[in-house]
Homo-oligomer: A and B are copies of this chain.
Amino acid sequence: MKGFSFELRKQDGSARLGRITTPHGEVTTPVFMPVGTKASVKGLTPEELEAMGVEIVLANTYHLYLRPGHNLVKELGGLHGFMNWRRPILTDSGGFQVFSLCKLRKITEEGVQFSSHLDGTRYTLTPESAIEVQEALGADIIMPLDECTPYPADREYAKDSMDLTHRWAKRCREAKQPNGQALFGIVQGGMYADLRRESAETLVAMGFDGYSIGGLSVGEEKGLMKEMVAATVERLPKDKPRYLMGVGTPEDLVFAVEMGIDMFDCVMPTRNARNGTLFTRHGKLVIKNAQYERDPRPIEENCGCYTCTRYSRAYLRHLFMAGEILAPRLNTIHNLFYYTSLMKSMRQAIEEGALAEFKKRFHEARSPSELTAAL
């Protein structure tokens, strides 16, 4: 089995153009990873994802651990075979979902006990079992168990939480088999820049295949998020990929790429699509609005996605209002195409040393006058 590597190909300011190699192929960075929580990017086939240029997807360990169970997935060929996605996959550790979805959770040094959000069954996830589960799932890139520090948290809580995450990271590293899967470290530290720096340094000293930034986009102001990203990035090595977990809006992707982030994931394009909120270069379009009832235009003029090249806003609005299941599918295709195209444009801009110019155009297109005319 081929292993994992990262090649930094070019820089434009702090922004980076890179290439990740995994046992299931290459990923060009910066990259956005669509979320396939339960081994399915909701409504879409692998072929549709490939057609829009998706190179890597994320699946959620927590959900798959509960249902159908990691051993079943392993029996059916691991995630790649199970969901028939032959390109790279990243799994999270399940930690974030335990903290966001589960009641009755109890954190100890050993790990975290929680009740399933499905039926209340009691489970325990430890650093070792989180790795075992992810080894059974067989993703190319896996995450250590961490505590996603709540927001707001006082400095003492954030520090203790971060230290626990570090001890768990060490145990994950020790538990992991030498099987070609890459293990990232997850930087925590709440909203304290010095803790973020300390966390990055501690994890880098342990040595991981890449570094994730966790605990952001949890309700804090954008300025604070940027400050934490900056504090973290300055202590991360250049030769390893950097993954900003759970982020974000198109605006977030633009500033984070500029700051040197390589990887992103977020449910926003897929979840918003199902709710009828569509991304365009001019801003968001809410398809159920009456103004689109007889609108023959595509979601976005000149968009090359399957949906925009074939269907009118009027038809998409009809499907949405009528509760037709083709609606979430067509909307998801558009939103993911928008996200992958945005990343592609940024990669090209970095290649040309023109990211600042790109960013200027990106924000101009979202001006109030452009928005009113287009949507």
Contacts and interface: CB of A to CB of B under 8 A. Distances in A.
Interface of A: 38-40, 42-45, 63, 67-68, 72, 75-76, 82-84, 293-294, 296, 306, 310-312, 314-315, 317-319, 321-322, 324-326, 328-329
Given A293-B68, A293-B72, A296-B76, A39 B315 contact: yes
Could you say how many copies of this chain the assembly holds? 2
A90 B162 CA distance: 64
B68 A314 contact: yes
B84 A322 contact: no
Contacts of A317: 68
Given A72-B314, A315-B83, A43 B321 contact: no
A76 B319 CA distance: 14
Q: Which 9 pairs show the lowest CB-CB distances between chains A and B?
A: A68-B318, A43-B325, A38-B322, A40-B326, A40-B324, A84-B310, A76-B314, A82-B315, A42-B325
Contacts of A45: 306, 326
Nearest to A296: B76
B326 A42 contact: yes
Contacts of A322: 38, 40, 63, 67-68
B43 A318 contact: no
B329 A76 contact: no
Question: Which residue of A72, A306, A315 has the most chain B CB atoms within 10 A of its CB atom?
Answer: A315
A325 B324 contact: no
Given A76-B314, A310-B84, A311-B84, A38 B68 contact: no
A76 B326 contact: no
